[in-house]
Amino acid sequence: MLPTTHYPVERITLANGLRVVLTPDPSAPVVGVAVVYDVGIRSEPEGRTGFAHLFEHLMFQGSANLEKLAHFRHVQGSGGTFNGSTHFDYTDYYETLPGNALERALFLEADRMRGPRLTEENLRNQVDVVKEEIRVNVLNRPYGGFPWLKLPPVMFDTYPNAHDGYGSFDDLEAATVADAAEFFDKYYAAGNAVVAVAGDFDLETAKALAERHFCDVPARPAPVLPDFAEPDLAAERRHSYTDRLAPLPAVASAWRVPDPLTDLAGYLPYVVLAEVLTDGDASRLVERLVLRDRAVTSVGGYIGFMGEPFAVRDPTALLLQAHLPPGGDVEKVLRTVDEEADRLATDGLAPGELARTQARMVTHLLRDTDAVLGRAMQMAVLEVQRGEPGLLNELPRLVGEVTEEQIRAAAASLTIGRRATVEVVAGGAS
Amino acid sequence: MTHVLPDLGPNRELHVPSTVERTLANGLTVLAIRRASVPLVELRLRVPFARAELASSSVLTQTLFSGTADKSTVDIAAALQSVGGALSAGTDPDRLLVSGNALVTGLDKLLDILADVLTGATYPGDEVQTERSRLADRIRVARSQPAHLARVALLKRVYGEHPYAVQTPTPDEVLAVDREALADLHAGRVQPAGGTLVLVGDIDPDAAIAAAERALKSWTGDGDRVDLPAVPPLAPGPLTLVDRADAVQSSLRMCLPAVARTHPDHAPLQLANLIFGGYFSSRWVENIREDKGYTYGPHSMIEHSVAGSALTVSAEVATEVTAPAMLETLYELGRLANLPPKPEELEQARQYALGTLQLGMSTQAGLAGLASTYAGFGLRLNYLAEHADRLASATLADVAAAAARYMAPAGAAAVVLGDAAKIESGLATLGPVVRASVD
């Protein structure tokens, strides 16, 4: 019997529409605070690629009662750590702190939820910082943006799904303070946000603190969530590009999966399938492509372009990616993946294969909740996307209930005609 | 309603979880800690590996789980997976580390498989060939990454002839490692004496130690203890410039002297480092990122190895601001080495240092990592409480003295990796520059 968690979940909604999720746990004297806004890369305006992420940086540049640098200093000067990150469907801001700093963290989050201090000077400074971030992660290293920035434009046709979420330097430089103010007004509304707190606190005290600090955030409703839907691929799509720094060829393919929110039961088999195919040396593709054929030097598989299966909306995909040895044959790798998917669909799983994959997945799920921050972040996203933070406790059981028949059906859907593939030509091979 | 920053609640005393410890008859020390937060167990096995041959050690980490007399790679992986588990190995110049976790109900199985490979890894020829090729591929990829190349250049510059100077083998060295070399290395060095096994999780510590003893009693052997010489004193000198044509960023690296965790200067130096660049709210980060926008993630940290400690400074900066960024780095180091920090800067750094001690112990994986790392230096988790006391009592004068003694820019070894044609003349305005290569 697979274990599960029993984290308590308290949900409240303040008068201004802000949702608050509290999950107390006295097992360590620390708290995790996560604030999630229901806006991400897919919602940024045309001509402003990278803006959701740039705006995330601006949320750290001061607010009504906090000078620039004050947020960082108050969090770290309380013994805590912080960060924020921008995803396709949401943006998060978070802190982990000793328990005695909970109220301070709520104050800091509330202050910037009322409004960041948007200035031309801070905007120009953070455009420079973001350009350096892109240089570190994309331009000055091999396989930069592979495949999370490189595959969406192959797979999707509409701007929200297909554009470069890190942004072009031209678009970043064209961003204005007025753009930022408009973006804040539209998307950073109390009704479009969730605050989640996990860790060592008294429930009633935390409720009162949340009310005290967030009650006067102005009430603004959530904007209507746009429809990002695109039809499934009708024919195979391929793209290749040369990476001048890459010493090895690489390839990534993606197939659309069912809607994670409206069809969780239909979606879960794909989450498990990705692990059946690629988790560890006993998985299908590692055994075949790495150990037997030596056709690839590494292979991985996951759901969603950022690999977070329970924090993404439709349309999204199951991805497989591989690095090949020097001179490796991408066509052969793709053929073998097809063969293995077909074999799985036709012959099914070996005895014990599904159960052991599920057991390992449960370990990962449980481990991700051990840190108070991991718990707060996941519950915040589950609340913002599903209104169901307690789903975190259900995931181990739901993963364990996926059947062999479902895995076979999911594998059968990984056909060539539904596949989008991007190939990296090794421009740096010596 | 007015909006005033709330005070912190009362400080909660640092609580260090208790550890049950026993040294087994084979010389392995087992440390077990209960943290019942999730029904999992974390495992860390640390085996001293000083002076183990570099290429063979690297391949051994990739083939330790490649087979036993009656199990293949896939059998081992499947058996681990069946209890929600996985194990992997890595090395550095001090130790071999096997890390893993599993559902806590799988602890016995996890230990049995660990014992199987420790006592009976066979390093099958085919698997060795596959894994050494994969490792060579990974090293090729690493050698195309600026952070790796800058690290290689800095280690070479700082450690000279010491074994710490080269920590990554070449692809050719790796491809030459054969089964015999691995079997010899395993027989000679993968031994329980002097090693530590850490188990943390939803366990009964005494029962977990008994389980470890049962599983690992047949793992025996004790080779001679191998020590490393102390690292050479840091030799300041010209900046070392490594060319990376067309790089859009330069990788700035500096190394400064530091002291071991048990040295009386350690806590003051840790605080001085925080004030300089050891966390976001530091002078250097606020200067070159938040004021000037030269860089994204600059950081400085104290790294402890068995044979010595070092303070390293790292930033990736836009090519066109390489020399200005180096100038600000030298300025901030020189300022802290010459003028005492403000009291509020020290208090902020102190709170951060104390708070992050609590955060680090708040997960099973965090506790396991800390317990294992400290054990490698002869320390136990109670070190954290002692260190917290030293952090709490360090004075402004202590911190200023540590900064003056260890953080003066004149005492640094510096390396810059970048497009030499574009950055050399600027860097040369700040001091002498010599060219080097990483090959």
Average pLDDT of the residues in B114-141: 98
| C-beta atoms of A140 and B146 within 8 A | yes
Average pLDDT of the residues in B111-116: 98
Average pLDDT of the residues in B334-350: 98
Average pLDDT of the residues in A277-286: 98
Mutation target for A interface from B280, B286, B289, B344: give the one with most A CBs within 10 A. Answer: B280
Mutation target for A interface from B290, B362, B416: give the one with most A CBs within 10 A. Answer: B362
φ, ψ for residue A16 (rounded to 5)?
-85, 5
Asked if the structure places residue B233 within a domain, the reply is no
Q: How many whole angstroms separate alpha carbon A145 and alpha carbon B327?
A: 31
Asked if the structure places residue B298 within a domain, the reply is yes
Pair A407, A416: CB distance under 8 Å? no
Name residues whose C-beta falls within 8 Å of residue B64's C-beta, 6 or more positions apart in sequence.
B89, B98, B117, B121, B186
Asked if the structure places residue B57 within a domain, the reply is yes
Mutation target for A interface from B5, B40, B81, B286: give the one with most A CBs within 10 A. Answer: B81
B86 with B153, same domain: the answer is yes
B20: three-class secondary structure by DSSP:
strand
Size of interface A-B (CB pairs under 8 A): 238
Query: Over 80: is that where the pLDDT of A430 sits?
Result: no
Tell me the per-residue pLDDT of A150-204, one tens digit each, with 9 for 90 and over.
999 999 999 999 999 999 999 999 999 999 999 999 999 999 999 999 999 999 9
**pLDDT-above-90 percentage for chain A:** 99
CATH code, domain with A173: 3.30.830.10
Residue entry with tokens 């497989």: A320
- Chain A nearest C-alpha distance from B230 (Å): 34
- Check if A279 contacts B (Cβ < 8 Å): yes
Query: Over 80: is that where the pLDDT of B223 sits?
Result: no
Tell me the per-residue pLDDT of A38-60, one tens digit each, with 9 for 90 and over.
999 999 999 999 999 999 999 99
Q: What residue numbers bound the domain in which A245 lies? A: 237-426
A107 interaction partners in chain B (CB closer than 8 Å): 3, 5-6
Asked if the structure places residue A294 within a domain, the reply is yes
B282 with B351, same domain: the answer is yes
Q: What pLDDT does B192 receive?
A: 97
Closest CA to B109 of B132, B86, B91, B127: B86
Tell me the per-residue pLDDT of B410-427, one tens digit each, with 9 for 90 and over.
999 999 999 999 999 999
| C-beta atoms of A136 and B249 within 8 A | yes
Torsion angle (degrees, nearest 10) of CA A398, A399, A401, A406:
120
A25 with A126, same domain: the answer is yes
A395 with A340, same domain: the answer is yes
A302 with A341, same domain: the answer is yes
| C-beta atoms of A124 and B293 within 8 A | yes
B251 with B210, same domain: the answer is no
Q: How many whole angstroms separate alpha carbon A184 and alpha carbon A225?
A: 15
Average pLDDT of the residues in B286-313: 98
Q: Which two tokens stand for residue B426?
A: 């600027």
| C-beta atoms of A363 and B103 within 8 A | yes
Q: What pLDDT does B158 receive?
A: 98
- Nearest-by-CA chain B residue for A429: B140
B212: three-class secondary structure by DSSP:
helix
Q: What residue numbers bound the domain in which B45 lies? A: 19-216
B209 with B244, same domain: the answer is no
A332 with A196, same domain: the answer is no
Look up the ipTM and state it: 0.97
Confidence of residue B222 (pLDDT cuts 50, 70, 90): confident
Tell me the per-residue pLDDT of A207-256, one tens digit each, with 9 for 90 and over.
999 999 999 999 999 999 999 999 999 999 999 999 999 999 999 999 99
Angle at CA A201, nearest 5°, toward A195 and A203?
70
Q: How many whole angstroms separate alpha carbon B97 and alpha carbon B75?
A: 22
Asked if the structure places residue A274 within a domain, the reply is yes
Residue A46 burial class via C-beta count within 10 angstroms: exposed 0-12, middle 13-18, buried 19 and up: exposed
B207 with B282, same domain: the answer is no
Asked if the structure places residue A230 within a domain, the reply is no
A205 with A264, same domain: the answer is no
Q: What pLDDT does B14 receive?
A: 86
Nearest to A248 among B137, B358, B364 (CB): B137
Average pLDDT of the residues in A254-274: 98
Domain boundary (A181, A214, A247) is at A214
B184 with B262, same domain: the answer is no
Asked if the structure places residue B222 within a domain, the reply is no
Domain boundary (B185, B216, B247) is at B216
Domain total of chain B: 2
A131 interaction partners in chain B (CB closer than 8 Å): 318
B40 interaction partners in chain A (CB closer than 8 Å): 363, 366-367, 370
B277 interaction partners in chain A (CB closer than 8 Å): none
Neighbours of B126 (CB within 10 A): 14
Rg of chain A, C-alpha, whole Å: 22
Mutation target for B interface from A123, A125, A363, A399: give the one with most B CBs within 10 A. Answer: A363
Q: What pLDDT does B12 receive?
A: 78
CATH code, domain with B209: 3.30.830.10
Asked if the structure places residue B37 within a domain, the reply is yes
| C-beta atoms of A28 and B361 within 8 A | yes
Closest CA to A18 of A157, A263, A190: A190
Domain boundary (B183, B216, B249) is at B216
Q: What pLDDT does B224 receive?
A: 79
Mean pLDDT of chain B: 97
B250 with B327, same domain: the answer is yes
Asked if the structure places residue B4 within a domain, the reply is no
- Chain B nearest C-alpha distance from A123 (Å): 11
B347 with B398, same domain: the answer is yes
Tell me the per-residue pLDDT of A388-407, one tens digit each, with 9 for 90 and over.
999 999 999 999 999 999 99
A39 with A127, same domain: the answer is yes
Asked if the structure places residue B225 within a domain, the reply is no
B291 with B323, same domain: the answer is yes
Domain total of chain A: 2
Query: Over 80: is that where the pLDDT of B297 sits?
Result: yes
Pair A393, A5: CB distance under 8 Å? yes
Nearest to A371 among B76, B77, B362 (CB): B362
Confidence of residue B225 (pLDDT cuts 50, 70, 90): confident
B424 with B348, same domain: the answer is yes
Closest CA to B399 of B265, B281, B286: B265
A177 with A286, same domain: the answer is no
DSSP secondary-structure letter at A1?
Answer: -
B316 interaction partners in chain A (CB closer than 8 Å): 132, 135-136, 140
Domain boundary (A214, A245, A262) is at A214
Average pLDDT of the residues in B163-177: 98
Nearest to B77 among A3, A131, A282 (CB): A282
Asked if the structure places residue A40 within a domain, the reply is yes
Q: What pLDDT does B221 receive?
A: 87
- Nearest-by-CA chain B residue for A370: B363
A256 with A185, same domain: the answer is no
Domain boundary (B154, B181, B216) is at B216
Q: What pLDDT does B1 receive?
A: 58
A200 with A260, same domain: the answer is no
Asked if the structure places residue A143 within a domain, the reply is yes
Residue entry with tokens 């919602």: A43
B207 with B273, same domain: the answer is no
A348 with A258, same domain: the answer is yes
B36 with B152, same domain: the answer is yes
Asked if the structure places residue A1 within a domain, the reply is no
A184 with A317, same domain: the answer is no
Q: What pLDDT does B142 receive?
A: 97
Query: Over 90: is that where the pLDDT of B3 sits?
Result: no
- Check if A242 contacts B (Cβ < 8 Å): no
B44: three-class secondary structure by DSSP:
strand
- Chain A nearest C-alpha distance from B168 (Å): 17
Q: Which two tokens stand for residue A32?
A: 């995790």
Asked if the structure places residue A86 within a domain, the reply is yes
Q: Which H or E element spans position B417? A: strand B413-418
Name residues whose C-beta falls within 8 Å of residue B231's C-beta, 6 or more positions apart in sequence.
B158, B159, B162, B164, B305, B307, B308, B310
Asked if the structure places residue B107 within a domain, the reply is yes
Confidence of residue A378 (pLDDT cuts 50, 70, 90): very high
| C-beta atoms of A79 and B354 within 8 A | yes
Asked if the structure places residue A146 within a domain, the reply is yes
Query: Over 90: is that where the pLDDT of A429 sits?
Result: no
Mutation target for B interface from A7, A60, A135: give the one with most B CBs within 10 A. Answer: A135
**If DSSP states are collapsed to H, E and C, what string results for A306-374?**
CCCCCCCCCCCEEEEEEECCCCCCHHHHHHHHHHHHHHHHHHCCCCCHHHHHHHHHHHHHHHHHHCHHH
pTM: 0.97
